[in-house]
Amino acid sequence: MIGTALFFLFAGLAIACAISMVYHRNPLYSAISLVGVFIALSCLYVTLAAPFIAAVQILIYAGAIMVLVVFVIMLLNLEEDRPHSRLNYLYALGGGLGVLLLAQTFFIFYAVMRSPNQPADQTLSPGKTLSIGQAMYTEYLLPVEIVGVLLLMAVIGSVILARKLTAPQIELVVEKELEIRKEEDAKDGLGIAL
């Protein structure tokens, strides 16, 4: 009974945050609403006895991915734009797809309710940290190592791409900036030497 109540509470919170994410025109508010969706999904994973997946949901999606999204939003410096009247047909398309999604949801609900109830095997614990760790370092050791090497290559590549300018190039930039300042000072008649 309590599990069902918690499911409806967190599912309702996830749906409300998703609607808020779509409703807001400000992308920063939408990103914050998406964090709410991720936190509600993490709570749903906890109620399903999958604490590792819940922790990964918070750390990876609500943490790292959303920091990246907010960073890109801040870099883009989005301005308020006027709504385009030429895209009005998208409202009808979105409404039709929404009705199709709702019909699919009701079909899945109907199919689940008609399926026979089978007791769950309590000896299996697929969402527990211990079983995930055992599977990662026994059966799936090679894919885990491959992913580790790929992530290491991505980190090295990003460091190489984000390197600072070498010293002579920095001196050139500083010299050009000093020349621009001297020209501006000469125009203004200040004559301040740096």
- Token representation of residue 176: 């050009």
pLDDT tens digit sequence for 76-118: 766 655 656 667 777 888 889 989 989 998 998 888 888 887 7
- How high is the pLDDT of residue 19? 92
Burial of 189 (0-12, 13-18, 19+ CB in 10 A): exposed
Selection from 72, 67, 45 nearest residue 56 by Cα: 45
For residue 125, pLDDT beyond 80: no
Min mean pLDDT across 14-18, 147-151, 179-183 is at 179-183
- How high is the pLDDT of residue 155? 81
Read off the pLDDT of each residue in 124-134 and give the average, rounded to a whole number: 73
Handedness of CA 159, 161, 163, 166 (dihedral sign): positive
Residue 144: CB partners within 8 Å, gap ≥ 6? 136, 137
pLDDT tens digit sequence for 151-186: 888 888 877 776 665 555 566 677 778 888 887 776
Domains present along the chain, CATH in parentheses: 1-78 (1.20.120.1200)
For residues 91 and 160, what is the distance between their CA atoms, to the nearest angstrom? 44
For residues 128 and 137, what is the distance between their CA atoms, to the nearest angstrom? 15
Q: What is the 3-state secondary structure (H, E, C) of the chain?
A: CHHHHHHHHHHHHHHHHHHHHHHCCCHHHHHHHHHHHHHHHHHHHHHCCCHHHHHHHHHHHHHHHHHHHHHHHHHHCCCCCCCCHHHCHHHHHHHHHHHHHHHHHHHHHHHHHHCCCCCCCCCCCCCCHHHHHHHHCCCCHHHHHHHHHHHHHHHHHHHHHCCCCCHHHHHHHHHHHHHHHHHHHHHHCCCCCC
